[in-house]
Amino acid sequence: MDKIKNQTRPVFPFTAIVGQEEMKLALILNVIDPKIGGVMIMGDRGTGKSTTIRAIADLLPEIEVVSDDFFNSHISDYDLMSDSVKTQLENNIDLSTQSIKVPMVDLPLGATEDRLCGTIDIEKALNEGIKSFDPGLLAKANRGILYVDEVNLLDDHLVDILLDAAASGWNTVEREGISIRHPSRFVLVGSGNPEEGELRPQLLDRFGMHAEIRTVRDASLRVQIVEQRSKFDQDPYGCIQEFSKEQENLKELIINAQDLLKDIVIDYDLKVKISHICGVLNVDGLRGDIVTNRAARAFAAYQNKKEVDINDVKQVITLCLRHRLRKDPLDTIDSGTKVDQVVNEILS
């Protein structure tokens, strides 16, 4: 219990969250394989979006980082290492490391490009010949989760920068001919309320997954959610203790899945069926095919399997494709239902 109380602020346990299975699965799969490309969570206000995202970050095992490094650099993985750390290693300088909680970075709605990307001190560079860089949120989010609430209200230019960094794993800042590049590998999570406006289709397409959440209508389930929240508010550490075993079990499942991921295989015929579904649904580009393959492999790893089967694809494909369908204002069914219909025909 003392270890629990050492936390700066108690976080609602992920395994205590009632319902919203689609959102929880999308977050777990992105944590297992960040290359899925993040998740966009659209739903009504007050449905636990922020609570769930903070809870998954808190659940994850600590990561080892180089001490006093702005970018949470990995001590041995070159792709997750800043240039200064690489230089020190090449010069055989001993570096100390420390374990930290997985970074959870919030992007405020009014953030500027400098706040997001970081800034170069031009004066220092010109006068002293030193590249002086003040890191932004993309640096702090490296190897963690970057959360943008109400992403549909964020300036399109900033959304572009975010998505480029999430896809490439790097952030480059250029000012007056001076360029600085640093690793920025993170799980991008956006949330929003569709009543406040949709994201442009070309930006929405860049999110790996799209989870839709609705206000729970079932009365008994609503009571269960309210009681669970009240219990946490009255005694947060008691609630954390109550769910500690479930939290530990889920953490082990995620770590195991991350280790298994590289060995998971998908049969060629199943890949063809995934691409057939994308073709029938008129999904533009190949991002839908790629993300569905990745997500299916992550789900198989999560189930502790070595090979993807049809059921794994069925579990993830709607999350991967529903936001990539062309919007038809005359359609009487939503995009998720349309995906389900085609999937059931082709994967029967």
**Res 298: pLDDT:** 96
- The band of 195, judged by pLDDT with boundaries at 50, 70 and 90, is confident
**What is the chain's length?**
348
CATH number of the CATH domain containing 291: 1.10.8.80
Residue 233 lies in a domain: no
Catalytic residue among 54, 143, 185, 287: 287
Q: Tell me: do 198 and 110 sit in the same domain.
A: yes
- The band of 91, judged by pLDDT with boundaries at 50, 70 and 90, is confident
Q: Tell me: do 116 and 198 sit in the same domain.
A: yes
Q: How many domains does the chain have?
A: 2
Residues 209-216, mean pLDDT to the nearest whole number: 83
Residues 139-168, mean pLDDT to the nearest whole number: 86
Domain end (from 213, 239, 273)? 213
Residue 289 lies in a domain: yes
Q: Tell me: do 197 and 279 sit in the same domain.
A: no
Residue 10 lies in a domain: no
**Res 333: pLDDT:** 55
165-185 pLDDT, tens digit each: 888 888 888 777 777 888 888
Domain end (from 171, 196, 213)? 213
Residue 62 lies in a domain: yes
- For 273, counting Cβ atoms within 10 Å of its Cβ (0-12 exposed, 13-18 middle, 19+ buried), the class is middle
5-31 pLDDT, tens digit each: 445 678 888 888 887 888 999 999 999
Rounded to whole angstroms, how far apart are CA atoms 242 and 93? 45
Q: Tell me: do 282 and 158 sit in the same domain.
A: no
272-319 pLDDT, tens digit each: 999 999 989 988 888 889 999 999 999 999 999 999 999 999 999 999
Mean pLDDT, the chain, whole residue set: 84
Q: Tell me: do 171 and 295 sit in the same domain.
A: no
46-90 pLDDT, tens digit each: 777 888 888 898 888 888 888 888 888 888 888 788 888 888 888
pLDDT at 331 over 50: yes
Residue 290 lies in a domain: yes
Q: Tell me: do 205 and 296 sit in the same domain.
A: no
Which residues contact residue 60 at a Cβ distance below 8 angstroms, ignoring those fewer than 6 apart? 31, 101, 102, 251, 254
CB 193 within 8 A of CB 150: yes
Residue 70 lies in a domain: yes
Q: Tell me: do 199 and 71 sit in the same domain.
A: yes
Q: Tell me: do 52 and 139 sit in the same domain.
A: yes
C-alpha of 255 from chain center: 16
- The band of 232, judged by pLDDT with boundaries at 50, 70 and 90, is confident
**Res 149: pLDDT:** 86
Its pTM stands at: 0.86
Residue 192 lies in a domain: yes
**Res 3: pLDDT:** 47
Q: Tell me: do 186 and 54 sit in the same domain.
A: yes
- The band of 329, judged by pLDDT with boundaries at 50, 70 and 90, is low
- Element housing 63 (H / E): strand 63-66
CATH number of the CATH domain containing 68: 3.40.50.300
Q: Tell me: do 199 and 291 sit in the same domain.
A: no
pLDDT at 4 over 50: no
Query: What type of residue is 330?
Result: L
Residue 275 lies in a domain: yes
Give the least confident one: 201-205, 225-229, 323-327: 201-205
Residue 20 belongs to what domain range?
16-213
Determine whether 297 is an active site residue.
no
Q: Tell me: do 192 and 275 sit in the same domain.
A: no
Rounded to whole angstroms, how far apart are CA atoms 331 and 72? 47
C-alpha of 13 from chain center: 18
Tokens of residue 199, six digits = 């994201």
Q: Tell me: do 155 and 79 sit in the same domain.
A: yes
